[in-house]
Amino acid sequence: MIFDPLYMAILVVALGLSGIVSFIVNARFKAGQKVSIYSGLTGAEIAKAILADAGITDVRVQETHGFLSDHYNPLDKTLNLSKEVFHGRNASAAGVAAHEVGHAIQHAENYFPMWLRSFLVPVANLGSNLGPWLVIIGIVLMGAYSQTLGHNLAVAGVVLFGAATLFTLVTVPVEFDASARAKKILSRLSIVQPGKEYNTVSGVLLAAGLTYVAAAITALMQLLYWAHKAGLLGRRDD
């Protein structure tokens, strides 16, 4: 099954999508770093200003290691910004910092898709790792031991992997909503100016959002593949 042409084709498409999107994200971010913002604020200062505007006082803004490793952690309520964003005074830093604050605002408002994504994390981790193996074991058992047991295991594997796929699908609206919030707040607080600054921020955030779209497409293709192998989409051809 490892050398299944269909699965190899899916891997090639997934790697291609990932590579293209990664290139776009890096190119947009680096281009945005060259666009200074009129307010002159750093990413950290922007994050703190937006948090204060939203009335959120229990989120800590801190620097973290790694390029584009920026994230909001709802467990300890920390806004973690990479060096480039934390200290940056440019459109890329402004966009990413505001985007992460968007997640903090979602958390404070109990935004349902974000709650659902957090709820799915444990089963998604289990499903992405265990799901495919259950399908493979189920297929082996169907051919060598018990049709019923094998089928049930394969279906369980597909369901588990389906939970992981649902996680990637829910992530898409969460990320795009955070970006929409970021652009509105940056504009309303006059942190970025209309025209080149705002357009650059929009381009950076759109590129970042495409990474989650690519991940969702890849997960869907894999889910359909495992469902096919489990015999849920018609007769298996192996």
Catalytically active residues, by annotation: 100
- The pair phi, psi for residue 78, each rounded to 5°, is -120, 140
Burial annotation 67-93 (CB, 10 A radius, 16+ → b, else e): ebebebbbeeebbbbbebbbebbbbbb
- The C-alpha atoms of residue 206 and residue 91 are separated, in whole angstroms, by 13
Q: Radius of gyration of the chain from Cα atoms? A: 21
Give, in order, the Cα–Cα distances in Å from 212 to each of 16, 58, 170, 215: 14, 28, 10, 5
Burial of residue 50 (number of CB atoms within 10 Å: 0-12, 13-18, 19+): buried
Query: CA-to-CA distance for 138 and 154, rounded, in angstroms?
Result: 5
Sheet holding 71-73, edge to edge: 60-64, 78-82, 71-73
Tokens, residue 212: 């989650």
User: Which amino acid, residue 190?
Assistant: S
* CA–CA separation, 27 and 42 (whole Å): 21
Question: Looking at residue 202, what DSSP letter applies?
Answer: H
